Structure 1
């Protein structure tokens, strides 16, 4: 069986569309892209075209086990700007393990018709139409119009699972990978637009949607106008907030009934760890069985360096999850929370995110006096507020909290808080490449309560943890100006799992 299907279901894989092809041909392609199979299993892949609810043609590839059926099914689609060819290794993994898999081009991408609507109501209805098709497919186990089905996919293909399963209770289990919880919060945290990611995604989405160049017939034309407005004002337009809110699972998760295996990456800077933790917690709080797995990749170049151990753990978890909740087998599943520890090169498992965690609060005035200056200017040197805490064999696990009183002298001003691991005389490593942005819309004093990104980090004796607050970041459009942090009214609270400060 294939266990090293890309952890994000197609982030790093490449390929072209396929006609009817035996498992051996797909195996060769997966080996070339760094994937592997065992000798077990046999299946065949063939292309299909399925008419959606509104007559739009949705292109797919069906992977069917050669063994006699019927079989349980898996529905999967790709990441933003991609197509179903990127899913061949993940689809083959499931087919090799006895599942009928329907991998499809999302509306407006690849060979599918229609206009890209950013996983809006039309994309959800497309997924429901494909579930209908699988229910009528002889090779799939079904009770009338209710097939035995799970969903798996990454990024754009992760978001559609949460949205579809919340609307359609025929979905028996989901495995959303590197997906979002709140598209507004992940795209513009605390009002600070991720302009670098926004530019990349709008450009990629427009160009890759059938490569026609005819924006009006490929991707929602409103996105281009909203993008121009957002970049001009360095702020998210109200219409975009409404549009993205409608596409945010957090609005609908109370209706979700499908058990969810939430998978995400520590170094994901588009949909950061907080988005995965929010999905996991909201699903768990509603009484639906859920698990959280955090590995060492995500929307980041680090995805290309994710090792075999992580891939195998993640994909074995996905297969076991489907076997238990879709096939109905008595399988073991991963612990409640599985966290990849990069420093020790191993998995750590817990019964809860905050298991055996104490919270310790430090006043910023104890670290850098009464006030600190933050500045970004074309005419004067930039200034960063820096706070260094000496460590004593401490392990941090969870989301630090920054309670901040800051006076903006210029507005608007965008500031950024980040944590760094300082070893000896080094400048410090920005932990997991994560930063928390916040926009100060007006001059004057602001009181902010900020949740920084969750992390897992051990600080040996002699090392230090450094908090930095600055007014520029490479992935954001900077605003020029300065602000003063009132350190005596500001604190940093850390989730301490082992040791003390």
Structure 2
């Protein structure tokens, strides 16, 4: 009886202790944090509660371009109360109520990230040995750049970000004009452009986008890959196949050069569409993977993410996640017989509307379409292969090895790869521009026009078609009306 009473007393005592212990939760405060040079950055700071005194792992989330610090509060709250992180979600300098001017992820933005870490270590119960950074778009780019500069950062999650700014906005010497227009408009609407951005805008409006390029290398983590590898940062990157600001090829190149822990996730959709709702705290596969990434590399949780296939993709036109160590090497080859057509004339083939077209593809599986028979053969080259007896998957970056004979010094080519059904209706799989500048008219030149990587399921009975023309509303074109261009070559398409 005495033993039984003792057991009962112990159980009741433990129950009372458990009842008295505060439940795990979080608290939120709005803070003014001194950034580089004393510039004030405003931030939401989310702290875990009911978990003791810490120290706790720290995650810093810089805001996206044109967005303020409320962007990540939902995701930050989940990180705090589910896993015990201190999270600082701050507005990048030059935007909204943070001080300074827009630096376009320049050195001051990178220094700001380190200053935010300094503040968090001094003013919260954050652990200096467990620091991560992440974000969407602008916040993703700043996070990667900060990881190259600050060895305290152990893990990064980059969502819809860039690694090479020039390759993103000026692919193959072709300005992505609608993307640049949108970024400039958002910058003026929500912030205060700094001198570099002001000069870049003047050069762009004057048609001298090449003069903007000198500001890109310092703002591109691709030029700092050695520092990222030396610091041993665990890097997770997630982007959409149809990202109209930062297309995936530059990420694939960067991923291949990383030597530390790494993960690449590519999904249907356009810029930020795959993860925007997760930032608000709603269920989201990308943010779930981000949580697991931070948990493993900051908290030491053995959740298996380090043993999964590091490349995770979903086909752009439907299907579940597929994992691999890289992209396959099996290829289909299409011969491109010599074709001559007029330059500087638009056709019905184009890459769609930035954000809108990719979002329709990602959310509703509505592709950017075209009727292949109606594409003007006088203003475009069109090549098709026979219908496939069995379905297959395009899985990687198609390459058009072209011999180009331009009729003018400057010519811009736009290559579109389509999945074409029995009625001739084509769904855009992938595309890429290429500007041939300063060429000698009438003299042939060989080029490698690599399209953007993609995962796309081609059904049985469909076939691939390549269309090349010289005008696309999304991009600037250097083609001259009245000139011609002659093309021939081969198209290789990686398949699985």
With normalisation by structure 2, the TM-score equals 0.81
Rg comparison, structure with higher value: 2
**Is the contact made by 1:399 and 1:451 (CA closer than 8 Å) also made in structure 2?**
yes
Which residue of structure 1 aligns with residue 95 of structure 2?
109
The offset of 1:344, in angstroms, is 4.0
Q: Which of 425, 432, 435 lines up with 2:432 in the alignment? A: 435
For 1:44 and 1:61, how far apart are their aligned partners in 2?
Answer: 10
Which residue of structure 1 aligns with residue 125 of structure 2?
139
Q: Which of 372, 381, 386 lines up with 1:385 in the alignment? A: 381
- Residue by residue over 1:380-430, the C-alpha shift from the partner in whole angstroms, topping out at 9 and shown as x without a partner, is 996111111233322211111111111111242222111111111143111
The offset of 1:208, in angstroms, is 0.7
**Is the contact made by 1:195 and 1:231 (CA closer than 8 Å) also made in structure 2?**
no
For 1:153 and 1:431, how far apart are their aligned partners in 2?
Answer: 28
**Is the contact made by 1:384 and 1:471 (CA closer than 8 Å) also made in structure 2?**
yes
- Residue by residue over 1:35-70, the C-alpha shift from the partner in whole angstroms, topping out at 9 and shown as x without a partner, is xxxxx9521110111112311111111001112232
- Residue by residue over 1:136-187, the C-alpha shift from the partner in whole angstroms, topping out at 9 and shown as x without a partner, is 2342123xxxx41111101100001111101111001000111112111111
Residues 495 and 377 of structure 1, relative CA distance in 2, 3 Å threshold? closer
Which residue of structure 1 aligns with residue 406 of structure 2?
408
For 1:105 and 1:58, how far apart are their aligned partners in 2?
Answer: 6
Q: Does 1:260 align with 2:232?
A: no
Q: Does 1:50 align with 2:24?
A: no
Residues 338 and 301 of structure 1, relative CA distance in 2, 3 Å threshold? closer
For 1:43 and 1:446, how far apart are their aligned partners in 2?
Answer: 62
For 1:229 and 1:382, how far apart are their aligned partners in 2?
Answer: 34
**Is the contact made by 2:162 and 2:250 (CA closer than 8 Å) also made in structure 1?**
yes
Which residue of structure 1 aligns with residue 131 of structure 2?
149
Residues 342 and 413 of structure 1, relative CA distance in 2, 3 Å threshold? closer
Give the SS at the match of 1:96: helix
Residues 106 and 288 of structure 1, relative CA distance in 2, 3 Å threshold? same
Which residue of structure 2 aligns with residue 495 of structure 1?
494
Which residue of structure 2 aligns with residue 18 of structure 1?
none
Which residue of structure 2 aligns with residue 446 of structure 1?
445
Residues 383 and 400 of structure 1, relative CA distance in 2, 3 Å threshold? same
Q: Does 1:335 align with 2:309?
A: yes
The offset of 1:297, in angstroms, is 2.2
Q: Does 1:202 align with 2:181?
A: no
Q: Which of 238, 244, 250 lines up with 2:222 in the alignment? A: 250
**Is the contact made by 2:61 and 2:133 (CA closer than 8 Å) also made in structure 1?**
yes
The offset of 1:305, in angstroms, is 10
**Is the contact made by 2:345 and 2:470 (CA closer than 8 Å) also made in structure 1?**
no
List gaps (5 residues or longer) in structure 2. Answer: 1-22, 347-375
Which residue of structure 2 aligns with residue 353 of structure 1?
327
The offset of 1:486, in angstroms, is 3.4
Q: Does 1:237 align with 2:235?
A: no
Which residue of structure 1 aligns with residue 480 of structure 2?
480
For 1:440 and 1:382, how far apart are their aligned partners in 2?
Answer: 22
Which residue of structure 1 aligns with residue 339 of structure 2?
371
Task: Give the alignment's Cα RMSD to 1 decimal.
Answer: 2.5
